Amino acid sequence: MRLSTLRGWPLTFLLAAVTGLSIAPFTWMLLSTTRKDTEIFDWPPSPVPGDSLGDNLHRLDRRIGLLRVLGNSLLVAGVQTVGALVVALLAGYAFAKFRFRGRTLLFGVLLSTLVVPEQVMLVPLFKMMMNFGLLDTYQALILPGLCVPFAIFLMRQSLSGLPDELLDAARVDGAGEFRVLWSVVVPVMRPVLAALAIFLFLGSWNQFVWPLVALRSPEMHTLPVALATLQGNQNTTDYGAILAGTALSTLPMMVLFLVLQRQFISGLLAGATKG
C-alpha cells in the first residue's frame, strides 16, 4: 500500500504538468483581460489580476457592439439548439418506434450525408440565401443548422432502447400520440436530450465558416466572426479588447462545463460510444 502510493507520485506529477499546460493559456487569457495593453506581455506574467477589466470591456464594446454581438450569438445558438433538438427528437422517434414504408431508405440517405464535408454546402447555401434575400439575417444562420443527421441518429439509437410497453400503457390509458411523446418519451429521455442539447449548443456557439460567409454587416456578427474580424484587422493592436472578447466567448462555455461536466462529456463523446 505504502509502496504504491509512493510510486504514484511521479505519474501524478506528470499529469499535473499536462493539465497545467491545458489550462495555462486560459489562465493567461483571463488574467490578461484585466491588464493594460502595455502590461499584457510582461514576463513573468503576474498572478494578480490588474485593474483594467472595465476599460478593456468598454473598448471592446465600442469596437464590436458587445451586447448586440453577444445577443446574436445567444439567439442563434439558442434557437438552433431547440430547433435541431425538436427535429431530431421527432425524427428519431419515428425511426425508432414506427414501421413505415421507406424507413430504411430514408435513414440511410440521412446518414450518408455524415461523410460530406460542410464545405460542400457553403456555395449552394450562399446562393440559396442570396436568392431568398436572406443573406445577413438570423434565418440564414439558423435554418441550415436545424437538420443535424448525427443528432437524429443519436435519438434513434437512444429511443430504440425505450420499451414499447411504456408507450402502449399510455396509449391504452387514452393518451394521444403527441401526449405520449411529451409526457412519456421526453421525461425518460431527459439525460440524452440534455447531453445532445449541450453538444448542439456548443457547436452552434462556436460555428465560424458559415456565419463568416452569410453575414455582411457588423451588427449581425456572432462572437466568433466579430473576434476574427477584430483580430484580422491589422490596424488593431488593441490587445486588451481582443482578449476580453476571447474571454467572453469562452467563459460561458467553461462555466457551463464545470457545472454540467457529466452531460458535457457524454454529449461530446456521444459519437464515440454510440458510433
Partner 1 sequence: MTAVTTPVNTPAAPPGTPPAKARTRARRGPRWRRTALPYLLLAPALVTFGVFKAYPIVDSLLLSFTTGNGSAGHADGLANYRRLLDDPLFWTALRNTGEMLVVQVPLMLALALLMAVAINSALVRWRTVWRLGIFMPAVTGLVATGVMFSFLLRTEDGAVNRLLEAVGLPAVDWLGQPFWARMSVVLVLSWHYTGYNAVIYLAGLQSIPRELYEAAMVDGAGAVRRFTAITVPALRPLLLFTVVLSTIGTLQLFDEPYVLTGGGPDNATLTVSMYLYQNGFRYFDFGYASAIAYALTLLVSVLGAVQMRLMGERDR
109-168 residues near partner 1, rule: CB under 8 A:
109-110, 113, 115-128, 130, 143-144, 146-147, 149, 152, 164, 167-168
Nearest to 56, CA basis, from 244, 264, 260: 244
Looking at the Cβ atoms of 26 and 65, the one nearer to partner 1 is 26
Residues of span 6-65 touching partner 1 by CB under 8 A = 7-8, 11-12, 14-16, 18-23, 25-26, 28-29, 32, 40-41, 43-45
Tell the smallest beta-carbon distance from residue 231 to partner 1 (Å). Answer: 5
Q: Considering only residues 212 through 271, tell me which ones interact with partner 1, judged by CB under 8 A.
A: 213, 224, 227-228, 231-232, 239, 242-243, 245-246, 249-250, 253-254, 257-258, 261, 264-265, 268-269, 271
Taking each helix axis as running N to C, give the angle between helix 66-97 and helix 190-206, from 0 to 180 degrees, rounded to the nearest 10.
Answer: 140
Contact region for partner 1 (CB under 8 A) — 50-58, 62-70, 74-82, 102-110?
Answer: 102-110
Q: Among 177, 186, 236, 259, which residue interacts with partner 1 (rule: CB under 8 A)?
A: 177
- φ, ψ dihedrals at 72, nearest 5°: -55, -50
Which residue has 457592439 as its cell numbers?
65
State the nearest-atom distance from the C-beta of 220 to partner 1, in Å: 16
Cell reading at 250: 469562452
Shortest distance in whole angstroms from residue 213 CB to partner 1: 6
d(CA 63, CA 261): 34
60-89 positions binding partner 1, by CB under 8 A: 86-88
Greatest C-alpha distance within the chain: 72
Cell of 202: 456548443
Question: What is the nearest approach in angstroms of partner 1 to the Cβ of residue 190?
Answer: 19
Phi first, then psi, for residue 236 (nearest 5°) are -90, 115
Q: How far is the CB of 163 from partner 1 (least distance, A)?
A: 10
Amino acid at 54: G
What is the rounded CA–CA span in Å between residue 21 and residue 201? 26
Work out how close the CB of 204 gets to partner 1 at its nearest, in angstroms, rounded to a whole number: 11
Residues 37, 239 contacting (CB under 8 angstroms): yes
Site for partner 1 in 184-213 (CB under 8 A): 202, 205-206, 208-209, 213
Residues 119, 124: Cα–Cα separation, whole Å = 10
46, 62, 71, 103: which one contacts partner 1 (CB under 8 A)? 103
Comparing CB distances to partner 1, the nearer of 219 and 265 is 265
Whether the ω angle into residue 47 lies within 30 degrees of 0, i.e. cis, is no
Give me the residue label for grid cell 408507450. 167
In the complex, least distance from residue 187 CB atom to partner 1, rounded to whole angstroms: 18
